[in-house]
């Protein structure tokens, strides 16, 4: 890792954030975490994540909203970070169609707030969590960072693309460097309950039917959490070269091996020993047909090499799920996190998954 030791991590209590926090602490960083513990899914799961982070080392925690400028200013003044890893966002394609204004306020407005505090406090390096969803139904596969025509088809995807453009703008205007990482369908222990792998396992373990949107041929480039964390740490140490007056770069972090929904379900049946009762449902607005990462750039410049075979990652997730009683208690809530339900009880807090 680079000489940046004081790290401010937004969204650190969530799925990706908690794993990353542990890795940062193991690397002897001075870590501060911002997370609002939003109730989109059980805050008890996020509190459990924080407890598990504590086993890796001590850190500062701030339960605050990235839309709260005064709170952010106080946190930056107290922690004086050398770098920021910005994960905090409203996540999910389908919920964003129901609550586009909330997504704009958090994912765009909240990102501006973070960038402004970086500018005011002289923080020079940012790693920004973007998404493969910004590519939309891209006609060229695998998806390359050089793809000029990005066509987001959900408010969530649009806010992530807007976030990338804001980050670029700040690196152009001010003495900052930034790396944007486009995550491709991250899975593994602690995955959000509303995401497909977690939701399917919860329903299959409970003997309930699973919803299958479309005909099951849609493909996702599933990427195991450990591989994603390794990519983020590499990006934290990476110094982008200045191009057009901006020290800025974008990388795909994926597995470059898309798996169909039907194949995923068959693998889960084999691993769990359960038969999935499938309920076929219409394809959902905002869902893309395929995600597939071209990772050549990340391999070359970041040394990124995903190494977790998909079945192995699924086996680790199922083992984790079965070992965690709190996850099993939360499984009924997982089936409620769908595009047909309100995003959460209150839009007043930001979260990351």
- Find the largest Cα–Cα distance for the chain: 57
- Return the pLDDT at 352: 37
Query: Quick one: 224 exposed, middle or buried, by C-beta within 10 A (0-12, 13-18, 19+)?
Result: buried
Q: Is 8 helix (H, G, I), strand (E, B) or coil?
A: strand
Q: Please list the active-site residues.
A: 156
The answer for residues whose C-beta is within 8 angstroms of residue 242's C-beta and 6 or more apart is none
- Return the pLDDT at 16: 98
Residue 38 near residue 250 (C-beta atoms within 8 A)? no
Residue 128 near residue 180 (C-beta atoms within 8 A)? yes
The answer for residues whose C-beta is within 8 angstroms of residue 353's C-beta and 6 or more apart is 14, 15, 16, 40, 41, 91, 92, 191, 192, 194, 195
Q: Are strands 210-213 and 278-281 parallel, antiparallel or unpaired?
A: parallel
The token duo for 27 is 């690397």
Could you count the other beta carbons within 10 Å of the beta carbon of residue 55?
A: 8
- Return the pLDDT at 335: 42
- Return the pLDDT at 3: 53
Residue 40 near residue 16 (C-beta atoms within 8 A)? no
- Return the pLDDT at 141: 83
Q: Please name the fold of domain 6-184+225-254+292-306.
A: Rossmann fold (3.40.50)
- Return the pLDDT at 342: 35
| Closest among 132, 91, 352, 105 to 250, alpha carbons compared | 132
- Return the pLDDT at 256: 94
pLDDT in tens, the chain (353 residues): 545 589 999 999 999 999 999 999 999 999 999 999 998 788 999 999 999 999 999 999 999 999 999 999 999 999 999 999 999 999 999 899 999 999 999 999 999 999 999 999 999 999 999 999 999 988 788 999 987 678 899 999 999 999 999 999 999 999 999 999 999 999 999 999 999 999 999 999 999 999 999 889 999 999 999 999 999 999 999 999 887 778 999 999 999 999 999 999 999 999 999 999 999 999 888 888 889 899 999 999 999 999 999 999 999 999 999 998 555 555 445 444 433 333 333 333 333 33
- Return the pLDDT at 346: 31
User: What is the rounded end-to-end Cα distance, in angstroms, of the chain?
Assistant: 25
The token duo for 84 is 């920021």
| Closest among 112, 87, 107 to 19, alpha carbons compared | 87
Contacts of range 109-114, beta carbons closer than 8 Å, 24 or more positions apart = 109/67, 110/65, 110/66, 110/67, 110/350, 111/66, 111/86, 111/163, 111/166, 111/167, 112/166, 113/66, 113/67, 113/69, 113/72, 114/10, 114/66, 114/72, 114/84, 114/86
The predicted model scores a pTM of 0.91
């Amino acid at each position: 890792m680079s000489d940046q030791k004081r790290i401010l991590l937004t969204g650190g209590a969530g799925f990706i954030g908690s794993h990353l926090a542990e890795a940062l602490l193991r690397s002897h960083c001075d870590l501060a975490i911002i997370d609002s513990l939003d109730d989109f899914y059980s805050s008890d799961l996020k509190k459990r994540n924080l407890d598990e982070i504590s086993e890796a080392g001590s850190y500062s925690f701030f339960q605050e909203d990235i839309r709260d400028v005064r709170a952010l200013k106080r946190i930056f003044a107290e922690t004086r970070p050398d770098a920021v890893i910005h994960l905090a966002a409203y996540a999910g394609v389908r919920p964003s169609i129901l609550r586009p204004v909330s997504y704009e306020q958090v994912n765009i407005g909240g990102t501006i707030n973070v960038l402004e505090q970086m500018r005011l406090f002289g923080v020079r390096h940012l790693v920004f969590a973007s998404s493969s969803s910004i590519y939309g139904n891209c006609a060229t596969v695998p998806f390359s960072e050089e793809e000029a025509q990005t066509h987001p088809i959900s408010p969530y995807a649009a806010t992530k693309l807007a976030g990338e453009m804001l980050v670029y703008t700040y690196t152009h205007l001010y003495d900052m460097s930034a790396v944007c990482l486009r995550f491709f369908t991250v899975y593994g222990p602690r995955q959000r309950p509303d995401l497909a792998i977690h939701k399917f396992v919860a329903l299959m373990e409970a003997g309930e039917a699973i919803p299958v949107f479309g005909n099951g041929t849609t493909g996702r480039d599933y990427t195991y959490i450990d591989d994603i964390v390794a990519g983020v740490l590499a990006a934290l140490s990476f110094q982008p070269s200045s191009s057009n007056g901006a020290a800025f770069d974008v990388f795909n972090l994926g597995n470059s091996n898309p798996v169909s929904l039907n194949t995923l379900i068959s693998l889960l049946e084999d691993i769990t020993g359960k038969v999935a009762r499938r309920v076929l449902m219409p394809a959902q607005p905002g869902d893309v047909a395929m995600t597939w990462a071209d990772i050549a750039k990340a391999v070359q410049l970041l040394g990124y090499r995903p190494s977790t075979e998909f079945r192995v990652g699924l086996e680790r997730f199922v083992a984790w799920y079965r070992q965690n009683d709190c996850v099993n208690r939360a499984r009924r809530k997982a089936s409620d996190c769908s595009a047909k339900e309100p995003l959460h009880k209150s839009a007043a807090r930001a979260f990351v998954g």
